[in-house]
Amino acid sequence: MRWLDWVVVAAYLAYVVTDGVRFSRSRDGLSGYLLANRSLPWWAVGLSVIATQMSAITLVGTTGQAFQDGMGFIQFYFGLPLAMIILCVTVVPFFYRAKIFTAYEYLERRFDARTRTTTSFFFLLSRGLSCGVIIAAPSVILSIVLGWDRLATILAMGLTTTVYTMLGGVRAVTWTDVKQMAVIVVGLSAVSIVILQALPEQVGLGDALEVAGLAGRLETLDFTFDPSKTYTFWSGLIGGLFLMLSYFGCDQSQVQRFLTARSVAEGRTSLLMSAFVKIPMQFLILLIGVLIFLFYSFLPGSQTPLLYDRGEAAKLATSDSAAAFRSLEARHADAAQRRSDAAIAYARMRAADADAAAPTSDPAPSEGAAASGVAAQRFVEANDSVTALRAAARDMVRTTTGSASYSDVNYVFPAFVTTHMPIGVVGLIIAAIFAAAMSSIAAELNALATASTIDFYRRHVKPDGTDRELLFFSRMSTLFWGIFACVAAYYAASLGSLIEVVNKFGSFFYGSLLGVFVLAIGTKRATGRGAFWGLLSGIAAVAFVNYYAEIAGLWQSVSGSDLLLVHVESLKISFLWYNLIGCFVVVAVGMLISVLDRSARVTGSDPSNTNA
């Protein structure tokens, strides 16, 4: 980073804080602080919904995934539009007209205090920790790529966000989100323009994309029905639908967004904005990852890194494995050079073919087509070598660090930006990464403070608290959760593919939370006891599926029986399906217990249960 980049990042941080603090002068009271007195326009709420969902992990992780594996991640969002429609029909008018602060507040009205407190507790636990991961992800990467101290990076992101969220409340969060979305869009546009300008002479975007196609980076759809595969059309459509229903309908950080809208109609419109925008926007973000792959494919081999994580590369270069690592680097530079030569040759041939294209009655392949076929073959072989050598380097890091899930995927985007972007643009993009992180952190902190205040403090500690007392507690709990997230971020340092960690963690609880709301809104027969035990059963079922291999291993070591081990392969299920499993188990167990409750009440054997 050069001086102008520092100026851009510092100016961004200073502006965000001063702009957020401006909202602290408002004299709104608790409803204004937590719900902006339900006065925000749909477009601001809609942008805030998008900004909240798009954390720095999304920005950095998905571009890296597209670079490494292609655009298949887009399928993750296929269930989102349908989820938004279902929420607009059910949850949005329900919650909005119930005049609640938190989604869990409704569960007490429908069931009992125990169900409300339990769901809110799980929300606080999962979101509090995932807020730490949301800070940790970019802080680890930026500290290595930029050479900053990791604690300083965590504090720059976490404490800055805590200050403006604590002082300005939901108004500051929403309006800052709007501006942060603008920073992100400008930053990503700048990256795209620079990459397009860096394409080799005589090679257009279409020709370059043909090269990406050769490497399989543009395959977007996978129709195989394999539950162990993470990103397929079906896991995205069905598993993604349940994940999005849970996230946008039961997670306070998103529910609170549409509760701030002026009306039910504006709340609905704000969610439908995501339904229209999310897939095309994610496509463009993934395309940037593919463009970075192309950039490095056209670059001379000596300038293409073997590992994008400079920290681990430097450690390996001075470790006991230094000689083996240097040998890998030399072979990688050679393979990358062959790839570059073949990529440029192939792209130029395709460009020339397109220029000379004329209708011909001769169906036999031309000399040009045969030559481009040879170049394509060379490119694929060289690219396979590069991929294998990079995998060997990552294995070397795994061996030396002991981190089995190590990947340098999350370092690709920041490493590219800091190495190849012009002065000023680097600062802008680092600011965009900060903006993506901060917009998500702010919404989480705001939601965590709201749930702490409304579901715990006001419900259990100070039911007769004044507006002033509750407002003070909200601010203090924002500060508490901000510090908690920073501490969690500091210890959540070495994680693998961070985006999957966050989603997987959420999937443990999300499906089960959704199941409770399905029981609450979808059926009149469900009882409080059914919902409570259904929730615990759902979480236990998802945990069982996730840790099945470990449980089977433990069972074998204790009993000597292979009974559970034989099913390990068939129970390898992608985390996207966890939401469906959790929801299904909660509804099934919840309904069963509810029916038993009602039968008991009819026969008079359980007079204690009065929930209906």
Partner 1 sequence: MSTEPLDQPKEFPHWNRVYAAVILFTVLTIVGLWLFSRAFTPTALQ
The residues of the shown chain that bind partner 1, judged by CB under 8 A, are 74, 78, 81-82, 84-85, 88-89, 209-210, 212-214, 218-221, 263-265, 268, 272, 275-276, 279-280, 283, 346, 369, 372-373, 375-377, 380
Element housing 554 (H / E):
helix 548-559
Shortest distance, position 263 Cβ to partner 1, whole Å: 7
The residue (of 371 and 568) whose beta carbon lies closer to partner 1 is 371
Closest alpha carbon to 218 in 67, 329, 367: 67
Q: Is 223 within 8 Å of 232 (Cβ atoms)?
A: yes
Q: Is 531 within 8 Å of 115 (Cβ atoms)?
A: yes
The residue (of 79 and 427) whose beta carbon lies closer to partner 1 is 79
The gap from C-alpha 355 to its chain's centroid, in whole angstroms, comes to 42
Shortest distance, position 389 Cβ to partner 1, whole Å: 22
* CB contact set of 61 (below 8 Å; sequence gap of 6+): 137, 409, 410, 497, 498, 499
The residue (of 214 and 492) whose beta carbon lies closer to partner 1 is 214
Q: Is 128 within 8 Å of 477 (Cβ atoms)?
A: no
Shortest distance, position 14 Cβ to partner 1, whole Å: 39
Shortest distance, position 372 Cβ to partner 1, whole Å: 5
- Distances in Å between the Cα of 475 and the Cα atoms of 9, 30, 122, 219 are 27, 10, 21, 47
The residue (of 185 and 279) whose beta carbon lies closer to partner 1 is 279
Beta-carbon-side half-sphere exposure of residue 268 (alpha carbons within 13 Å): 13
Shortest distance, position 461 Cβ to partner 1, whole Å: 37
Q: Which tokens in the block code for residue 62?
A: 């998905």
The residue (of 266 and 309) whose beta carbon lies closer to partner 1 is 266
Shortest distance, position 412 Cβ to partner 1, whole Å: 21
- Residue in the block written with tokens 């001769």: 362
Strand partners, 40: 261
The residue (of 77 and 164) whose beta carbon lies closer to partner 1 is 77
Shortest distance, position 219 Cβ to partner 1, whole Å: 5
d(CA 82, CA 238): 10
Strand partners, 261: 40
d(CA 230, CA 23): 42
- Distances in Å between the Cα of 371 and the Cα atoms of 23, 202, 206, 298, 345 are 64, 17, 19, 19, 9
Shortest distance, position 340 Cβ to partner 1, whole Å: 18
The residue (of 380 and 479) whose beta carbon lies closer to partner 1 is 380
Q: Is 373 within 8 Å of 274 (Cβ atoms)?
A: no
The residue (of 192 and 220) whose beta carbon lies closer to partner 1 is 220
- Write the burial class of residue 16 (CB in 10 Å: 0-12 exposed, 13-18 middle, 19+ buried): buried
Shortest distance, position 579 Cβ to partner 1, whole Å: 19
The residue (of 106 and 379) whose beta carbon lies closer to partner 1 is 379
Shortest distance, position 405 Cβ to partner 1, whole Å: 29
Q: Which tokens in the block code for residue 432?
A: 């965009």
- Distances in Å between the Cα of 338 and the Cα atoms of 270, 330, 351, 369 are 49, 13, 20, 20
CB neighbourhood size of 36 (10 A): 26
DSSP state of 457: I
Shortest distance, position 594 Cβ to partner 1, whole Å: 31
Shortest distance, position 273 Cβ to partner 1, whole Å: 10
The gap from C-alpha 573 to its chain's centroid, in whole angstroms, comes to 19
Q: Which string of DSSP letters, residue by residue, matches 2-15? A: -HHHHHHHHHHHHH
**E strand segments, 486-592:** none
Q: Is 525 within 8 Å of 598 (Cβ atoms)?
A: yes
